[in-house]
């Protein structure tokens, strides 16, 4: 049986509203166009964490589920959530202004842009013994900016990172500094940081599209067909391995398929090598050529 959600904390009037009314309010303000079921997930997330949904502590990020072949919504924290959790701990002793590195101007994917090389943010935390400890994070613009992507797979920064190169990097540095200083608030990157980035090892090779939120996988290169000439040249050697018992036909097929795509006919030829046809008494084409060459050589003597 599911455990009941904690009681709504005082000072969170939004969570005291009728859920249908609250969904309608959020749908028409903070989450326009979102699925009502996804907004309900936001509300339950906020109830469990005692957060005010009207402060938009989390984001609804649509992700493409390649197995189900459909979009699904996931809830990801925003930078505001980490700030709130750090403040609630009672141990937050200060947050520095972002310190930007030197300006860099260059052309990236056809877009001329000036951006800060890096950004430092320091979070101060009061330890149990009263000591104030400082935790500094340094983030680089080139390692954080979100690409435009699209059909042409542009590496240019997207509209947000083009318009606000300093503010976007500052949010990334601040989120990292908060996670270092307050590891108990969680380790999940914020939706702001993850736009256009690799998600995690589970989603290695995928990125969030900056415009749609869709997770896009890296394009897989098509495997070229295995060259016919090479196949005919190597087939006798493969047949020898199969007939000697060193390899099975399936093992040969698996090995060769890593280098090129085999046709059904080629696979059938490899499997047929396991049971070579008995001699018929007729000469093969190769034997005929050898016999003719021998006859010509003898005639010229």
Predicted structure pTM score: 0.58
- Which of 174, 196, 217 terminates a domain? The answer is 217
Mark whether 197 and 78 lie in a shared domain: yes
Per the domain annotation, does 74 fall within a domain? yes
Q: Tell me the pLDDT of the chain (301 aa) as tens digits.
A: 444 444 445 568 888 889 999 999 999 999 998 889 999 999 998 998 888 999 899 998 776 555 666 667 788 898 989 998 999 999 999 999 999 999 999 999 999 999 999 999 999 999 999 999 999 999 999 999 988 876 667 889 988 899 999 999 999 999 999 999 999 988 888 887 776 554 444 444 444 444 444 445 444 455 688 888 888 888 888 888 888 888 888 888 888 887 888 888 888 888 888 776 555 556 666 667 677 777 777 776 6
Q: Provide CB contacts within 8 A for 32, sequence distance 6+.
A: none
Mark whether 152 and 234 lie in a shared domain: no
Per the domain annotation, does 299 fall within a domain? no
Mark whether 47 and 68 lie in a shared domain: no
Mark whether 43 and 93 lie in a shared domain: no
Helices (H), the chain: 19-27, 36-49, 79-88, 141-144, 159-163, 165-181, 191-194, 228-243, 249-257, 264-272, 285-299
Per the domain annotation, does 165 fall within a domain? yes
Mark whether 186 and 255 lie in a shared domain: no
Domains in the chain: how many in total? 3
Mark whether 29 and 66 lie in a shared domain: no
Mark whether 15 and 111 lie in a shared domain: no
Per the domain annotation, does 289 fall within a domain? no
Phi, then psi, of 258 in degrees rounded to 5: -75, -15
* DSSP class per residue in 50-107: T--GGG--EEEEEEEETTTTEEEEEEEE-HHHHHHHHHHTT-EEEEPPPEE--EEEEE
The whole-number pLDDT of residue 1 equals 41
Per the domain annotation, does 301 fall within a domain? no
Domain encompassing residue 231: 221-281
List the structure tokens of 155. Answer: 């590496």
The whole-number pLDDT of residue 284 equals 60
Mark whether 242 and 139 lie in a shared domain: no
Per the domain annotation, does 287 fall within a domain? no
Per the domain annotation, does 286 fall within a domain? no
Per the domain annotation, does 138 fall within a domain? yes
Mark whether 51 and 69 lie in a shared domain: no
Mark whether 243 and 261 lie in a shared domain: yes
Q: Which of 244, 238, 299, 298 is nearest to 272 (CA)?
A: 238
Q: Which of 92, 163, 171 is nearest to 133 (CA)?
A: 92
Mark whether 1 and 73 lie in a shared domain: no
Mark whether 158 and 247 lie in a shared domain: no
């Amino acid at each position: 049986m599911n455990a009941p959600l904690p009681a709504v904390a005082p000072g969170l009037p939004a969570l005291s509203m009728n859920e249908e009314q609250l969904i309608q309010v959020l749908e028409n303000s903070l989450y326009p166009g979102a699925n009502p079921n996804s907004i309900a997930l936001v509300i339950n997330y906020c109830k469990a964490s005692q957060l005010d949904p009207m402060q938009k502590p989390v984001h609804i990020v649509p992700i493409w589920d390649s197995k189900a072949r459909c979009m699904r919504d996931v809830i990801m924290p925003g930078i505001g959530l980490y700030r709130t959790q750090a403040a609630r701990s009672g141990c937050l002793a200060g947050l520095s202004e972002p310190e930007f590195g030197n300006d860099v101007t260059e052309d990236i994917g056809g877009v001329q842009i000036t951006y800060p090389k890096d950004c430092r943010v320091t979070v101060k935390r009061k330890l149990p013994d009263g000591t104030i400890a400082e935790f500094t994070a340094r983030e680089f613009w080139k390692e954080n900016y979100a690409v435009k992507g699209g059909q042409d797979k542009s590496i240019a920064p997207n509209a947000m990172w083009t318009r606000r190169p300093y503010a976007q990097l500052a949010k990334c540095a601040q989120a990292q500094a908060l996670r270092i200083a307050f590891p108990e608030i969680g380790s999940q990157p914020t939706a702001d940081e993850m736009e256009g980035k690799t998600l995690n090892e589970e989603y290695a090779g995928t990125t969030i599209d900056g415009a749609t939120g869709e997770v896009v996988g890296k394009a897989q290169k098509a495997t070229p067909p295995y060259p016919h000439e090479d196949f005919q040249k190597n087939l006798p050697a493969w047949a020898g391995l199969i007939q000697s018992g060193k390899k099975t036909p399936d093992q040969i097929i698996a090995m060769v398929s890593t280098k090129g795509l085999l046709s059904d006919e080629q696979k059938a030829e490899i499997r047929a090598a396991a049971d070579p046809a008995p001699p018929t008494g007729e000469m093969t084409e190769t034997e005929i050529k050898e016999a003719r060459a021998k006859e010509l050589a003898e005639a010229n003597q």
